[in-house]
Amino acid sequence: MEPIEGTSVPEPSTSGPHNPLNRRSALRLFGAAAAAVPIGGLAAACSSSSGGNTSSSAAGNTAASSTAGGATGSSAAGGSASAGGSSSAGASGGAGGSSSGGGSSPAPEDVSGTLVMAYLGDATQQKAFQALFDEFNKTYPKVQVKATGIAAGDWGTFASTISTQIAGGKVFDIVDVATEGQLLMSSKGVLEPLDDFIARDKAVVDDYYNDIDPHLKEWSAKYGSPDGKTYFIPGGYNTVCMYCNTDVFSQAGVDLPADTWSWDDFFAAGQQIKDKTGAFMLGIGYGFPFVDIMPWLLTNGASTLDADWKNPTLGTPEAVAAATFVKKMLDAGLSPKPGGAFDAASQYQKGKLATLGGGRWPTLDIRRLKMVDKTQIVPWPMQTKPGSPAGWDGWPIMKASQNKEAAWAFLKWIMSPDASKFYAQVGGTNVPARNSVASSSVFTDDAPKGTENLMKAITYATPIPSPARGTEVQNVITKAWQAAILGTSSVQQAFDNADSQLKPLL
């Protein structure tokens, strides 16, 4: 499985060790070996949700409540609960809320209890999340949030940690799930369908969906649910663009692309930069597909899997051409050789590296390195079409949750403009799902010029392929890419072998 792009977490180096900056990458494994590039930071995105089903009714509300084990809920469904209901019983319900689905939501002050959450995040991210939870408590003062930030280097590690804890009897109310884990989680039957809650608070949810890119809702429905029910509310997302060191480009006499640039433009720029300044054009790796592999494939109309994630497509001529081009750049010395400990961030700061690939997360590193004014974000160079992978956070409620009402209260709150703005302000590592926030100064201030390209990319992006056996799939893909670009086998042979290995995993 690929690194988490969706969560907001700083990444380890993406492809590895190179970049201490990213965490995601690590996951990539960890580093992989790769050497690569991007800094990674957090990943990304938030979720999408399915959207869908907003159809439920009052009855649905009740059902949701009851399943939740107690959520009390609402009046329409029968019963009102007393304010402040206890957590263990489930949420409290009560007064308050409104709703169109039939039941009514309890007022914020009537929701109480403990909310056990888990998310992927290192120490820095944990501060941002904690600030977010504190802000939530201003609206819901009776809900005690017990959140665990798991500093995993990648989604696979995060998923195994969560799974191990669940197997050990730990009960979570909410687990922040990146794209890579959404189908896995929903297909295991451990998530609570959200349709009844959505129906009950239709106005809130509709307001949210009306302000996010429609792709997020569509993708969540398609890729985050095996049965048509809604399991995730989308959060922020990440796409991939290129961070360019303007000093290096300037010294080499290379103009930054105004809007788009081709692979040939990129290669020529890399050669000129290398000749004039000695700097590498980019760090090429293979351990973090979200940045190392997918952008090259997608900008040539290829991908690792088909749109349904049912068939491998690495052996296509377009995919082979993409890897061949990357190998050409590596052979031309436009990147340090993968497999070492190249520190992309520090080299970028020193002017020894011209570009970094990534989503929103490198911006945090760029700020730390005081390179905001010397950086411009541009779209990934393309061959046949613009392309970028997309990953987004998904916020589900766990089926075993003992306090589903409070969990839904948090999900509702996270959809609010205030929450979105606040998270962007405190250093969120993804693009806010709400377009109104992503295009506002809250998001673009203190960020490199061209930050809006990250948001634009969602319009042409492709969801990062994340089948249920994603970790195994990713392992096959990274190995094939590694063999292809390092020349340990021919590109076509490496990809054909990968396709044959991927088929039984899908």
Q: Report the nearest approach of other proteins to the CB of residue 468 (Å).
A: 10
Rg (CA), the chain: 22
Integer angstrom CA distances of residue 161 from 22, 274, 339, 417 = 19, 43, 27, 31
Closest CA to 200 of 287, 296, 290, 91: 91
- DSSP annotation string for 443-477: HHTTS-BTTHHHHHGGGT-EEPP--TTHHHHHHHH
- Angstrom distance (rounded) from CA 500 to CA 150: 35
Residue 459 is a binding residue for other proteins (CB under 8 A) = no
Collect all residues with Cβ–Cβ distance below 8 Å to 88 and sequence separation of at least 6: 70, 113, 114, 402, 403
Closest CA to 151 of 339, 311, 12: 12
Residue 341 is a binding residue for other proteins (CB under 8 A) = yes
Query: Which residues are paired to 377 by β-bridges?
Result: 243
Applying CB under 8 A, which part among 97-105, 174-182, 402-410, 473-481 lies near other proteins? 473-481
Integer angstrom CA distances of residue 462 from 106, 177, 459 = 38, 18, 9
Give, in degrees to the nearest 5, the angle at Cα 398 between 222 and 178: 50
Total binding residues for other proteins by CB under 8 A? Answer: 38
Q: Which of 188, 276, 385, 503 binds other proteins (CB under 8 A)?
A: 188
- The number of beta carbons lying within 10 Å of the beta carbon of residue 383 is 19
Q: Report the nearest approach of other proteins to the CB of residue 168 (Å).
A: 9
Show contacts with other proteins in window 360-379 (CB under 8 A).
Answer: none
Q: Report the Cα 157 to chain-centroid distance in Å.
A: 15
Nearer to other proteins, 301 or 340 (CB): 340
Site string for other proteins, 27-66 (x = CB under 8 A): --xxxxx---------------------------------
Q: Is 488 exposed, middle or buried (0-12, 13-18, 19+ CB in 10 A)?
A: exposed
127, 118 Cβ separation under 8 angstroms: no
Q: Which of 22, 355, 420, 471 binds other proteins (CB under 8 A)?
A: 471
Applying CB under 8 A, which part among 242-250, 382-390, 427-435, 480-488 lies near other proteins? 480-488
Q: Which of 59, 63, 166, 506 binds other proteins (CB under 8 A)?
A: 166
Nearer to other proteins, 109 or 472 (CB): 472
Applying CB under 8 A, which part among 129-137, 296-304, 330-338, 406-414 lies near other proteins? 330-338
Nearer to other proteins, 138 or 337 (CB): 337
Three-state SS for 174?
strand
Residue 495 is a binding residue for other proteins (CB under 8 A) = no
- Angstrom distance (rounded) from CA 486 to CA 478: 12
Nearer to other proteins, 348 or 443 (CB): 348
Residue 486 is a binding residue for other proteins (CB under 8 A) = yes
Residue 346 is a binding residue for other proteins (CB under 8 A) = no
Residue 465 is a binding residue for other proteins (CB under 8 A) = no
Q: Which of 218, 247, 472, 496 binds other proteins (CB under 8 A)?
A: 472
Residue 339 is a binding residue for other proteins (CB under 8 A) = yes
Show contacts with other proteins in window 1-30 (CB under 8 A).
Answer: 1, 16-17, 29-30
Closest CA to 5 of 418, 335, 457, 498: 457
Q: Which of 86, 137, 148, 163 binds other proteins (CB under 8 A)?
A: 163
Residue 374 carries which DSSP code?
G
Nearer to other proteins, 164 or 459 (CB): 164
Nearer to other proteins, 216 or 476 (CB): 476
Q: Which of 482, 484, 498, 502 binds other proteins (CB under 8 A)?
A: 482
Nearer to other proteins, 160 or 490 (CB): 160
Query: Residues interacting with other proteins, by CB under 8 A?
Result: 1, 16-17, 29-33, 156-157, 159-160, 163-164, 166-167, 185, 188-190, 287, 336-342, 469, 471-472, 475, 478-479, 482-483, 486, 488
